Amino acid sequence: MHELSLCRCIQGIVRAHAAGRAVVRVELRVGHLRQVVPDTLARCWELLTEGTELAGTVLDVDEVPAVVECRSCGERTVLDAPVLRCGTCGDRDVVLVAGEELLVAALELEGS
Amino acid sequence: MGRFHRHTDGADEHHHEHGHAHHHDRAPGSPSDPARVIGDHSGYGSGPVRVEVLEQILAENDRVAAANRGDFDAAGVAVVNLMSSPGAGKTTLLERTLERLAGRLRIGIVEGDIETSLDADRLAGRGAAVSLLNTSRGFGGECHLDATMVRAALGGLTLDGLDLVVIENVGNLVCPAEFAVGEDARAMVFSLTEGEDKPAKYPVMFRSVELVVLNKMDLLAHLDVDLDRFRARLADVNPAARTIEVSARTGEGVDAWCDWLLEVVRRRQVPAGVDPG
């Protein structure tokens, strides 16, 4: 359960970029190969921001599916399970091209 | 009460559903206005403003990990981050390791536990410098070690006098995998009693290591565990991972594990790409 740690990191990034401006929404991008539970993240965000200037802000999680690219046949496969194998030719020699994202993508700030 | 939106099908969610661009009957910036998410708001004096950030959530941890790394480099010490579920046998393996490598390597241990000095006490007096890190003391009972905690623990070790530091992480198959601490290599101890499907259930952990020590091999005859099935599951998530079969209890295979540690130390002493001659 490291979502609380992640929320502390997110809070630091949000505060630095908001620079005192009111935050409406925080947009995260989280890959399927990160062991992050979005609902737990949201609950931790509530606990952490309660009573602060970030209370009530929306934590918006864009989940990014894991995608591998095959070195043999060149095809891309969207993974529905954490098995790194080409869906076209079955080769294990694949490169992960998406699914490990863990970032604050954007903030929505209140207008002036 | 915070709100929470999840999008499972990617960024397309945010695209405008209407065919015309930026002609809105609704008030700009109102919750019903699709343009409030992405769009050119420069024409409006008010309304929400979207600011692109694109910053790694773990960037601060990674900065501290890089600082740890700098200290390890300066001291010429190799560092292994050792992870496992609780009770897999990390501490017993380290006891055997210290016995075998006494006089050959100067070893420091960072002992991470949520509570108690039980494991640190077991390792003290076996020739290693031990720095205990209880995550409940000032770190909120964390289930993992992060770079900042390791940095705090390094104060308890004199790096200049060491060849190898083993960081015994908190027993947990999920969280420790997400936090780099500045290590040279990651390994995990997997106990046969845990079941062969664990790599599929904890892919982040099994993907993050270069070595899996299969511990409690002395119990193999008493268990239904299928090692070939385990290896297939491991290859599904991490085809490059090596495995070493060990019984920390009987000492079987511990030499192979110690050889791997010596290899990590050699790698540190001979930078990649340099022929040792």
B50:A108 CB<8 A: yes
Q: What is the pTM of this model?
A: 0.83
- Residues of A with CB below 8 A from B201's CB? none
Measured CA to CA, the distance from residue B94 to residue B261 in angstroms comes to 11
Distance from the A73 Cα atom to the nearest Cα atom in chain B, whole angstroms: 18
Give Cα separations from B10 to A30, A76, B169, B198 (angstroms).
10, 17, 34, 29
Q: Which residues does B253 contact at the CB level (< 8 Å), separation at least 6?
A: B217, B244, B245, B246, B247
Q: How deeply is B4 buried, as exposed, middle or buried, from its count of CB atoms within 10 A (0-12, 13-18, 19+)? A: middle
Can you give B85-133 as a three-state secondary structure string?
A: CCCCCHHHHHHHHHHHHCCCCCEEEEEEECCCCHHHHHHCCCCCEEEEE
Q: Quick count: other Cβ atoms within 10 Å of Cβ A92?
A: 15
Could you report the predicted ipTM of this complex, rounded to two decimals?
A: 0.91
Instruction: Kindly state whether A65 is in contact with chain B, defined as any CB-CB distance less than 8 angstroms.
Output: yes
Residue B264 phi, psi (nearest 5)? -65, -40
In chain B, which residues have their Cβ closer than 8 Å to the Cβ of A45? 2, 4
Tens-binned pLDDT, residue by residue, of chain B (277 aa)? 344 455 544 433 343 333 333 333 334 444 444 444 444 444 555 788 999 999 999 999 999 999 999 999 999 999 999 999 999 999 999 999 999 998 999 999 998 887 788 888 888 778 788 888 887 765 566 788 999 999 999 988 999 999 999 999 999 998 899 999 999 999 999 999 999 999 999 999 999 999 999 999 999 999 999 999 999 999 999 999 999 999 999 999 999 999 999 999 999 876 555 554 4
What are the backbone dihedrals phi and psi of residue A47, each rounded to the nearest 5 degrees, phi first? -60, -45
Note the Cα A48 to chain centre separation in Å. Answer: 18
CA distance to partner chain A, nearest, from residue B80 (Å): 21
